[in-house]
Chain A
Amino acid sequence: MGIRIELDSCVGCGSCVAVCPFDLLEIVDDKARVKEGCTLCGACYEACSYEAIQIDAIPEAEAASDSHRGIWVFAEARNGQLKEVAYELLSKGRELADSLDTELSAVCFGHDIAGIDRLIAGGADKVYLVDSPELNSNAEDLYTRQMVELIQQYQPEIVIAGATSLGRSFIPRVAAILGTGLTADCTALEIDNEKRLLLQTRPTFGGNIMATIICPVKRPQMSTVRPRVFKASAPDAGRQGQIIRVDFDREHITSKTRLLNFVEDITETVKIEEADIIVSGGRGLGKAENFQLLEELAAKLGAALGASRPPVDEGWLPYSHQVGQTGKTVCPRLYIACGISGAIQHLAGMQTSDIIVAINDDPNAPIFEAATYGIIGDLFKVVPMLIEKLKAQ
């Protein structure tokens, strides 16, 4: 079915069994055997020193369409304001478009959105703008149908969107209607020029394993990317581009669901994703009251307060402070991790920060592998010292 064990070459060493992320290989009677469900990822093929594993490329049922061209970035906006992630994706999109020698377009839905030309300065050759009051709040049903229409009309080969709560809910619907492949939460995007394929890399198993995925036949190839994974490059005001206004067809594009109300959550004064400096605490803090110490440090630095998952699960801090896989992704200039062990799921949310400082009494804590500066010590002694030294500045 695409993977075969050459029994004559196999010595039963088990190297393949150890690397299979899906636990689908076993040694039976001293020979390797593949269980059902193999995705042909090739990890075992790489690991075998005896060339005993053969993987055949699956002959595709059809060839990829040759008529799809161009890269699209969904430029998300809310209440007339474009989100930062749009520029981050445009920078990456520009790189990919140059590699494929094709056009980069931004797609924008909303009403009276400010600064559309900044999308062109950000790298877009074209902007498809659909402006209507109905699109002001993120009416997902309308976005889904509108996006499908545009894609069917203009046939891009690649579509990229931010993995925001909007992106993660309407983009899969677009992919499902178009019957094409979607890879969520990508952390890297590259081009295979020969085959005009987008190589989409994403974390699985909480980030312990990275997978590179392709969409060989169906078009467009779709990806979502988390905010702050890519960096927006400096805008080039001199860039030329075209803004194409598309009429919103109220008759044709309808919604089954209705938004009744939006309630804003105004809890923190400094929004953690926008902070330049974040002071973050983990299980090592021990209890809710101890976060006061970090609050003091944060106040001294003008920083926002963050947390890994355990303090939030324990109820010491609200969820809006959570940094990590199931929390927020942040990329501040300085991230100070106190009493945080550095589990993969947490690192996923902050490892691209400019400077990472780790304070932990366990010298083997994985956080020290990701940190720029490490302090091995008791945070209850180090943090007060830090506060004192900062006061003296």
Chain B
Amino acid sequence: MNVVVCLKQVPGTTEVKIDPQTNTLIRQGIENIINPLDSYALEEGVRIRERYGGKVTAISMGPPQAEEMLKEAISLGADGAVLLSDRDFAGADTWATAGTLAAGVRKLQQTDIVICGRQTLDGDTGQVGPEVAEMLGIPFVAYVSRIEEMAEGYIRVQRMVEDGHEIIESPLPAVITVVKEINTPRLPSLRGIAMSKRTVIPTWTAGELDIEQDKIGLAGSATRVVKIFFPQRDCQAEILQGDPESQAERLVSKLKEAGLV
């Protein structure tokens, strides 16, 4: 099986705190990591290779420093990686990102399955996976919680829905997004770390991909951000005073007033 895993490098925390005095961001020591939900995608890819043989390639669209994250992917079991990086990719919305990733996957050729994480920590839209599928013209299944069986041109999966799960079969190649219930990602191995130091990760620029200039980056995005603001939370709670007994009493009387007890 030729597996391609889409990874995104994200800031190490979403705890982007706001200084209440100045209403500005406090950013200390935020390093970049593999989007946590993508780790499950990578782990599943490696498990597919362990079970069925083949190759796992990690792919990412990002700035040059995303190469670090791709090296980490190799230490976690990916056989190779490729970075899609170009000034012109910057500022992309999910649609332009999906187009770029799809062009990267096409260039890799002979892919049996593309695996993405359910959503990212920073954008959290969960849109790139399904959009890549449509751009590649291949089937798509979301929220996969278990791969039951794979064979040449065929996959059967279990996927989560709100009130239970469904069993879906699909031809391959296909794109799937996975949820964290699917596995427990492994830690890097020493040989993996050694290999990641040796592996050369190619960077493909816009010119090397088969995609029109007007479909990438900010220019290729269908949406634009027009405003950024920090959510105001200025309602303060009414603090019920006293010892636990009086606090409980006061609360019960409030709830009675509201007709809840």
Contact = CB atoms under 8 A, between A and B. Distances in A.
B251 A386 contact: yes
A370 interface: yes
Interface in B128-146: 129-131, 133-135, 138-143
A182 B127 contact: yes
A211 B169 CA distance: 37
Contacts of B240: 373-375
Contacts of B98: 176
B252 interface: yes
A206 interface: yes
A169 B130 contact: yes
A39 B225 contact: yes
A308 to B, nearest CB: 15
Contacts of B106: none
Interface string B148-187: 0000000010001111111111110010010001000000
B40 interface: no
Contacts of B247: 375, 377, 382, 385
A184 interface: yes
B257 to A, nearest CB: 10
Given A37-B91, A176-B131, A263 B222 contact: no
Interface in B62-119: 63, 87, 90-91, 93-95, 98
A393 B218 contact: no
Interface stretch (A99-107, A213-221, A239-247, A282-290): A213-221
Given A184-B126, A259-B168, A260-B168, A168 B142 contact: yes
Given A175-B131, A263-B164, A210 B15 contact: no
Chain B interface mostly helix, strand, loop or mixed? mixed
Contact of B224 (A164, A214, A344): A214
Contacts of B181: 319
Given A172-B130, A176-B95, A204 B124 contact: yes
A183 B127 CA distance: 9
B163 A264 contact: yes
Contacts of A211: 225, 227-228
A318 B163 CA distance: 13
Interface string A171-209: 011011101111111000000000000010001111111
A333 B228 contact: no
Interface centre among B98, B139, B167, B226 (most CB of A within 10 A): B226
Interface string A345-371: 100000000011110000000101111
A372 B227 CA distance: 29
Interface residues of A, number: 101
A212 interface: yes
B245 A385 contact: yes
Nearest to A192: B226
A203 B224 contact: no
B260 A334 contact: yes
Contacts of A169: 130, 140, 142-143, 177
A30 interface: no
Interface stretch (B18-26, B51-59, B189-197): B18-26
Interface string B227-241: 111110111111110
B244 interface: yes
Given A212-B226, A214-B223, A170 B168 contact: no
B221 to A, nearest CB: 7
B125 interface: yes
Interface in A249-271: 256-265
A385 B228 contact: no
A376 interface: yes
B225 A212 contact: yes
Given A173-B131, A204-B123, A261-B166, A382 B95 contact: no
A256 B162 CA distance: 23
B235 A179 contact: no
22 contacts: A19-B228, A39-B218, A40-B218, A47-B24, A165-B143, A176-B131, A180-B222, A209-B229, A210-B230, A213-B225, A213-B226, A215-B222, A217-B222, A257-B140, A333-B258, A345-B14, A355-B255, A368-B239, A369-B237, A374-B237, A377-B247, A389-B252
Q: Across the A-B interface, give the 7 residue pairs with the lowest CB-CB distance, nearest first.
A: A181-B222, A206-B14, A374-B237, A169-B142, A18-B24, A385-B248, A37-B90
Interface of A: 1-2, 15, 18-21, 23, 36-43, 47, 58, 61, 137-138, 140-141, 164-166, 168-170, 172-173, 175-177, 179-185, 199, 203-218, 256-265, 277, 301, 319, 325, 333-334, 343-345, 355-358, 366, 368-378, 381-382, 385-386, 388-390, 393
Interface of B: 11, 14-18, 22, 24-25, 27, 63, 87, 90-91, 93-95, 98, 121-127, 129-131, 133-135, 138-143, 156, 160-171, 174, 177, 181, 214, 218-219, 221-231, 233-240, 244-245, 247-249, 251-252, 254-256, 258, 260-261
